[in-house]
Amino acid sequence: MSTLNWTGMWSGTNTYNVGDAVSYLGSSYVAAAANTDVTPNNNPTAWNLLAAAGAVGPQGSAGINGASGSGVPQGLNWRGAYSTLTSYNAYDCVSFNNSSYICTRNGVLNLEPDSNPAYWGVLCEGGTGGGSGGGNGSVA
């Protein structure tokens, strides 16, 4: 299990290390190689897609104000594909049904991320697949 380090929006001036994760054009990516000024969406040797941008959904209702935090940054723990047999803790992240989620509580077991918003937050929601191309798969 490797640790995912969420760094926020991608910037061409930042240096990224393996495991650093960013958002770029609505999708999220994790660095597969150390890089600087390498855009995530066109460079699969430097970046792996975590979750592709989906269609814009309807506006949700406003949430309640949260308590003030300690100001200490917390890293994310990438756990891979969701499993009903694994117990998850706050800041554990998983992939499930073409989306990625972050666990918001400790000791979460057998609660699927897409139907339990009290225990899981959406990191990046997956979209629908594109249509097939008309080509024959060969490169000209």
CATH code linked to domain 5-50: 2.10.10.90
pLDDT of residue 57: 85
pLDDT of residue 73: 65
pLDDT interval class at 131 (50, 70, 90): low
What is the per-residue burial (b if ≥16 Cβ within 10 Å, else e) of 99-138?
A: bbbbbbeeebeeeebeeeeebbebbbbbeeeeeeeeeeee
Asked if 5-50 and 77-124 have one fold, the answer is yes
User: Is pLDDT of 53 > 50?
Assistant: yes
Is the model's pTM score more than 0.75?
Answer: no
d(CA 16, CA 30): 9
Q: Find out whether 120 and 111 touch, Cβ atoms under 8 Å.
A: yes
Q: Which fold has domain 77-124?
A: Seminal Fluid Protein  PDC-109 (Domain B) (2.10.10)
For the segment 94-110, what is each residue's pLDDT rounded down to a tens digit?
Answer: 999 989 999 999 999 99
For the segment 71-95, what is each residue's pLDDT rounded down to a tens digit?
Answer: 656 788 999 999 999 999 999 999 9
